[in-house]
Amino acid sequence: GARPRFSVELSASQNILSSGSVKVELDQEEIDNNANFDSTTNYRFTPTVPGAYRFSGTISLNNTTDGNTNGAKIYKNGTAERTIIADAGGTSSGETISCFLAANGTTDYFELFTFSSTDSD
């Protein structure tokens, strides 16, 4: 069958506390051609076709401060597989993460997380 594709985003701001990594609750689907993205409960992608998938996500944080450490992570099966870290320079910060990861087509799932060393939204 066709390779599952999806494009999702937040419908509203999400508060990010400086207490560690937080799952981004991507709740607005633009594309989900095979109904593999859960945008209501777990906010994750579970492909039903095995293969390598390209994942890309952009995080925009507000209320950050100079020297603040921000970033994004792509998780596979509950474990961080890729991480991007940057120092903020002002009141907002934007990070983009992109990678290819293999999926078995049955049990693997993927999630987007973010983190900040100060409270943000």
Residue 97 parent element (H or E): strand 92-103
Model-level pTM? Answer: 0.87
> Mean of the per-residue pLDDT values for the chain?
86
4 vs 115: CA distance, rounded Å: 28
Residue 101 CB neighbours (<10 A): 15
What values do phi and psi take at 110, rounded to 5?
-135, 140
User: Per-residue pLDDT tens for 50-109?
Assistant: 999 999 998 887 765 555 667 889 999 999 999 887 765 555 667 789 999 999 999 999
92 vs 72: CA distance, rounded Å: 14
Which range is least confidently modeled, 37-41, 44-48, 84-88? 84-88
Amino acid at 90: G
